[in-house]
Amino acid sequence: MITLLMACLAMLPPPAKQEPLVVPHRGLLGHAPENTLANFRACLELGMGFEFDVQRSKDGALVCIHDDTLDRTTNGKGRVADMPLASIRELDAGAWFNTRFKGEKVPTVEEVLSLVGAHRHKGVLVAVDLKAAQVEAEVAAMAVKAGALKKLVFIGRAISEPAVRANIMKQCPKAACAALANTPADFDAALTAADASWVYFRFIPTPGLMERVHKAGRKGFIAGVTVAGVEPANWKAAAAAGIDGLLTDHPLEFHETLRPSRPKP
- pLDDT tens, position by position, 150-190: 999 999 999 999 999 999 999 999 999 999 999 999 999 99
Q: How many CB atoms lie within 10 A of CB 202?
A: 16
Distance CA 83, CA 26 (A): 22
Q: What is the CA radius of gyration of the chain?
A: 18
Dist CA 9 CA 183 (whole Å): 34
55 within a domain of the structure (yes/no): yes
Q: pTM higher than 0.85 for the full model?
A: yes
**Residue 24 in domain:** yes
Determine, yes or no, domain membership for 221: yes
Domain range for 139: 19-67+108-258
Inter-residue contact 195 to 162 (CB < 8 Å): yes
Task: Say if 14 falls within a structural domain.
Answer: no
**In angstroms, rounded to a whole number, what is the distance separating the alpha carbons of residues 240 and 236?**
6
Residue 54: CATH number of its domain: 3.20.20.190
- Three-state DSSP class for residue 210: helix
Task: Report the alpha-carbon distance of residue 53 to residue 66 in Å, rounded.
Answer: 5
For CA atoms 159, 161, 167, 173, the dihedral sign is: positive
Element (H, E) at 85: helix 85-89
Segments in the chain below pLDDT 70: 1-17, 260-265
Instruction: Give me the active site residues, please.
Output: 25, 66
In a domain, 102, yes or no: no
Cα first-last separation, the chain:
27
Inter-CA distances, 221 with 99, 133, 144, 186, 247, Å: 35, 23, 22, 14, 8
pLDDT value of position 5: 54
Q: How many domains does the chain have?
A: 1
234 domain residue, yes or no: yes
CA 17 to chain centre: 23
Q: Indicate the Cα dihedral angle 75, 81, 85, 87, nearest 10°.
A: -40
What beta strand segments (E) does 126-167 contain? 126-130, 152-156
Q: CA-to-CA distance for 48 and 24, rounded, in angstroms?
A: 8
Q: Contact, 4 vs 231, CB < 8 A? A: no
* Domain-located, residue 52: yes
Chain center to CA of 42: 14
Q: What is the pLDDT of residue 259?
A: 79
Alpha-carbon gap, residue 125 to 51, rounded angstroms: 9
